Structure 1
Amino acid sequence: MLQYALQHQKAIDTITQHRELGLRSFEMSDNKWCIVEQLQDVLKILKDAMLFFSRATPNLATVIPVMDLIDQTLATHTLNNKLLPSIHAAAGLAKKTLNRYYQFTDSSDVYRITMILHPRHKLSYFERANWGEDWIETALSLVRDKYSHSYSTSNNTEGETDEMVNLFENKSSSMVSHLFYSSTLTDPLL
């Protein structure tokens, strides 16, 4: 909607300036148009995420990297000195809201297991996302423990368990499809 308004700014200004139409209360100042333009740039990441997820059913292996990307983008906007203070505040509130829900993934065993077992992510996802070594080791231990408890049989040897763990540690490819676009890029969060 913001993009449409910006594309038709001249027509909107012309219509709202006519007194006989009774739309003067909707007339926008140059400052308000600047806010609309900057807000559109900040919200673009959310629009891209919505379009991305509308193409297929989301799963943890796709949702978590998108949440990381949204968080990183909002953080960048909160530090951008070229943006108006109102946009800084809006980006900060959006980041705070996102993180209120995102923090629950830290306590989820399923989240960690999913990311480690996913062929594209594995442990390198956490390394590229700058998670601490302790956190990465905890996630790996969780997968090892879950495997040993639920899937390991008494016939397995120690070597077989080590071989299984080595699969988690294999690095995923650094050349991946960008989250929202079809071109091949190197993205540090994927």
Structure 2
Amino acid sequence: MIVIFLGPPGAGKGTQAKMVAAKQHIPQLSTGDMLRAAIAAGTELGQKCKAVMDAGDLVSDEIVTGIIGERIAMEDCRNGFLLDGFPRTVRQAELLDELLEKAGRQVDVVLELTVNDEELINRLNSRIQQTKDSGGEVRTDDNEETFRKRLAVYNEQTAPLVPYYEKQGLLKKVDGMQPIEDVTKSIERALAT
């Protein structure tokens, strides 16, 4: 089973992706982790990626897709995998489709966690307060201004994936406003159909 998770930052994708990956016995693939692993392994794509990142630039869609191609060719992805954080744009989705088609594979389901933007801001502020109350250190990027920018980027660049996958009949929406356990149950129902 090949699963893609979509949803704005703070929607709970990471939490739910871990549970789905464990239950389905498939690896959860994070783009950031894959980029770091390719660099550490010294692969040709990893070296290209390192040069781009060292120069302070963003890694191109083609390089990211190539690294994903290397990763999903590994044995643990034979029965499927879950993508969390990729694709981020329609162009990346098109490249992924091409990559999978060449391998004789296809995406099975795209799960979109839908959450109200203001609720996401409330969740962020609650998390910040809980961290402070417990004596923890709040991350420098954990603030409302930065979070609103991340939401804007998501809405501009990633949200267009929703109609892209709807047209393919792959999109299943899950209400991310529910308690975590209910979101998990909704995802399980979506995967069962």
Name the TM-score class by shorter chain.
under 0.3
Point out the structure with the larger strand share.
2
Higher RCO (C-alpha 8 Å, min separation 6): 2
Give the TM-score normalised by structure 1.
0.26
* Larger relative helix fraction: 1
Q: Which one has the largest radius of gyration?
A: 1
